[in-house]
Structure 1
């Protein structure tokens, strides 16, 4: 086992660094009006298509997901279920070849969305869920709290939760123990975007709103390659924001910036009528 761990760490040190960028941030408590907001800017090479799809599993909860199709990493990228539980993800700075060389690890987002009603329930099963996940970064929210999860190799993970205040993440490890193992190289963009979103969150003195989170999403303070909204080596392909009030139905705002098309914004009230309606694909 020790030899295998050393081999994996050595692979991380030697492998070329690459990670498709995303920026995640969330807020809970008083500054969110007693509820929560969670957001993801999804950055990738603009070589594929994205769409929203409502999923009704044979067993479990319905959910609405942001899906990618047509590139080398298709699938679910963000989602929210009928109980208001949302999950978003961002790539780890561990090289993709190393992350995928763990046949016993898998994606967990569908499992979370279809199987859990609250963040607390996810945390109760954290050891079961995240120890089986590929190396990745996640942020989750419900009506009461937001959580950040960093997953490393061999089942290692860390959790940070907030029922008041904010969280932010990009594409390198923030937990000291995991950072010591895996942050052999931190990308300039990842560090710059983290600093920028933390600065924007820190400057806010009034209630956070969907409009405020949208403004953060479109921030271009640091140029084409390092801003929250990117148009350089990678493009910001989507903005995903879920606002869950202290009372009432969640609201989702998604901007899709698919290649060759004008950006399109979709704002949905995720009430009982929405979830009971016939499933729809391609919003």
Structure 2
């Protein structure tokens, strides 16, 4: 009897630990999967609608300049996606299969995405920075040659998957076999979004371009709380706050699409050449 009570108590802990995930959906394609070659990468950024976002150009004293999407206020300020002047893109997602309480007690590399953008000129250089892979999170990175997923778990565990042809996708739980043990929580939204973006990518029979991926970012197949584009079933629930999509051609300049959905503001959409910002031909509004 005590054994069954213990099992029931464990199930209750697991069930009531599953809070709405502060989540994101990431996907990318490269090489012969992309019209004209090169790479495509997208992040649908999902979070509580309790803050504002902005796009900023960062020019560090040392290292590469980068253009980034930033949360400007709220409890989790900072860089959420970026592209540097060498054409390296870094986007991130919460490792929501580890509880917030657990994650808060773990060591982290502060500002990992910003460091990779500042210090690295390619996917190869970024994935070599294994000493920085500390603290649970999921990264997806791209340059014109390659795309990669970096799953980072606790206690120095991580997994890197690099692809030169085809597509990759991710949400908020670990999928690499060596990382499955760190899925302490099974999040419904993460599982549904992972299945849906995988289904959409697998059903594409032709080579993809930026417009194809922008269309995927608008998918609402699984309702307000579990879709790739989330609207939230109540005004205070997690929703899609921004879309960051980049095309990195083999022989031309990158193209950046940004859709920002700040609370109590009109939707903003930018479609720009990041090199125009780096070269001073285009100035972002303050």
Alignment match, 1:128? 131
Structure number with larger C-alpha Rg: 2
Local SS of the residue matching 2:17: coil
The 5-angstrom pairing of residues 8-87 of structure 1 reads: 16-18=17-19, 19-32=21-34, 33-87=36-90
Q: Which runs of 5 or more structure 2 residues have no equivalent in the other structure?
A: 1-9
- 1:228 maps onto 2:228 in alignment: yes
Tell me how far apart the structure 2 counterparts of residues 254 and 151 of structure 1 sit (CA, whole Å).
Answer: 26
Residue 97 (structure 1) shift = 2.4
Residue 261 (structure 1) shift = 1.5
Instruction: Please tell me whether the aligned partners of residues 99 and 185 of structure 2 are also in contact (alpha carbons under 8 angstroms).
Output: no
Flag as ranges the 4+ runs of structure 1 deviating above 2 A: 13-19, 102-107, 278-283
Tell me how far apart the structure 2 counterparts of residues 134 and 256 of structure 1 sit (CA, whole Å).
Answer: 28
Instruction: Please tell me whether the aligned partners of residues 89 and 138 of structure 1 are also in contact (alpha carbons under 8 angstroms).
Output: yes
Local SS of the residue matching 1:73: coil
Instruction: Please tell me whether the aligned partners of residues 53 and 282 of structure 1 are also in contact (alpha carbons under 8 angstroms).
Output: no
Alignment match, 1:160? 161
Q: Do the aligned partners of residues 280 and 175 (structure 1) sit closer, same or farther apart at CA in structure 2, a change above 3 Å counting?
A: same
How many equivalent residue pairs?
Answer: 267
Local SS of the residue matching 2:148: strand
Tell me how far apart the structure 2 counterparts of residues 16 and 88 of structure 1 sit (CA, whole Å).
Answer: 26
Instruction: Please tell me whether the aligned partners of residues 106 and 134 of structure 1 are also in contact (alpha carbons under 8 angstroms).
Output: no
Q: Do the aligned partners of residues 227 and 49 (structure 1) sit closer, same or farther apart at CA in structure 2, a change above 3 Å counting?
A: same
Q: Which runs of 5 or more structure 1 residues have no equivalent in the other structure?
A: 1-9
Instruction: Please tell me whether the aligned partners of residues 254 and 266 of structure 1 are also in contact (alpha carbons under 8 angstroms).
Output: yes
Aligned-pair Cα RMSD in Å: 1.9
